[in-house]
Structure 1
Amino acid sequence: MTTARRTQKQRRDQAEAALLHAAAELVVEQGVRSLTLARVSERAGYSRGLVSHHFGSKQALLERLARTTQTGFVPGLADLPPGRERLLRLIDGYIGALGEVGVLNRAFLLLWAEAATASELAPIFRERDEAFRADLREDVAAGTSDGTIHPDAVPEEVAVAIVGQLRGIGLQRLLDPGAADTERLRRSVTEHWRRALAPIQP
């Protein structure tokens, strides 16, 4: 019985991953306004009923897509305690990951940009960006507490600046993949923040 339940869960997870990938492909190819549950089911090769069973609505599908594409974008962060090193690892890893942006991450960046004018997307990405900033604020606060970040650093301001920079680099990569060498950029941007946040020497 345990094996049967596990196999059923595996089938469900596989179907959900295929549906999300199909949704991401459609967003990249045609934009969010053309996205429908029917088109997702057709692209993924599943029935419309299964798509509705998994997500229920286009809004729920978009929310799941936003969460799935953002989660795990920079691997290994969960193993690090909050602080300066986790923050710098995030910056370095994020820009490095932009060097090979797959369809899921392309979809996330396109949806994020479109959220400025699409009312169905705005609440999703406000929540996603706030979660991103909250992690960064936690890192800055931990760094100021342990002395690895200078005490004048304002967590909210640093978080807004970093999110804006990283998302902006991502959008530039979408528009013009050759605009920046991400391997060089990741080093220079990470070093910039290392110096900017370093404790002030007496």
Structure 2
Amino acid sequence: MTTARRTQQERRDQAESALLTAAAELVVEQGVRALTLANVGERAGYSRGIVTHHFGAKQALVERLARATQAGFVPGLEDLPPGLDRLLRLIDGYLGELARIGVFNQAFLLLWAEAATQPELAAIFRERDAAFRADLSDDVEAGIADGIVDPAVSPAQTAVAVVGQLRGIALQRLLDPQSVDTGQLRHTVTGYWDRALRR
């Protein structure tokens, strides 16, 4: 019996996935300073040369890790049109995902917090946060256009407040999991935004 050989692209994708997983684990276990190309390669079972081949430098590795860890945090939103329903589902889904927060999401939060004092991280996370806020602002604007959201609401300010609240809850959950009841918060926080925004 023969097994099909993996293509070069499949081998490349597998190596990149293993390297990003190793990088996320290192950030969670030892902090951002432990994130060196050599440490990532050793952790993943590859040489530093492979890490350099895939990412070039630590900055590119961190940027790729930031993108990988934030992508698809709340599944099932891709097909929903912008509007209040999508915004509320995002809030509810985000808090629901915190109940089973994985290593990639933990790494993202730690990198995000570290970006406040690390200039090389700041640009990456400013870009990611700007995209997140733009999506939320689009939802509020669509809700206003649909006549569902109060037209006096500022889409930009609402987006800043929602991101701040979700990330703040996530960091508290990471710091002290027992004190953050994500099941109860899903109801409380989603209900708050529904009442605050609805016309």
Q: TM-score, normalised by structure 2?
A: 0.96
Give the distance between the partners of 1:180 and 1:39, measured in 2 at CA: 33
1:1-202 map, 5 Å: 7-199=7-199
1:120 CA drift (Å): 1.1
Q: Distance in 1 between matches of 2:98 and 2:43?
A: 26
Q: Distance in 1 between matches of 2:46 and 2:33?
A: 21
How far apart in 2 are the matches of 1:38 and 1:49?
A: 9
The RMSD of aligned alpha carbons is 1.1
SS of corresponding position for 1:79: coil
- State the shift of 1:14 in Å: 1.1
Question: Counterpart of 1:30 in structure 2: which amino acid?
Answer: Q
Q: Show structure 1 runs of 4+ deviating over 3 A.
A: none
- Give the superposition deviation at 1:34: 2.1
Amino acid at match of 1:160: V
CA separation in 1, counterparts of 2:98 and 2:56?
31
- Note the alpha carbon deviations across 1:150-188, whole angstroms, 9 max, x for none: 111101100000000000000000110011111111111
Structure 1 residue 141: deviation in Å? 0.5
Offset from partner CA, 1:31-84 (integer Å, 9 cap, x none): 112210000000000121111111111000000101111000000111101111
- Residue 77 of structure 1 aligns to a residue in which SS? coil
* 3-state SS of 2:119 partner: coil
Aligned residue identity for 2:103: V
Q: Give the partner amino acid of 1:16.
A: E
1:67 & 1:87 partners in 2: Cα distance? Answer: 21
Structure 1: stretches of 5+ with no match in the other structure? none
Distance in 2, Cα, partners of 1:56 & 1:178: 40
Identity over the aligned pairs, expressed in percent? Answer: 71
1:60 is matched by which residue type in structure 2? A
Structure 2 residue ranges without an equivalent (≥5):
none
2:28 partner SS: helix
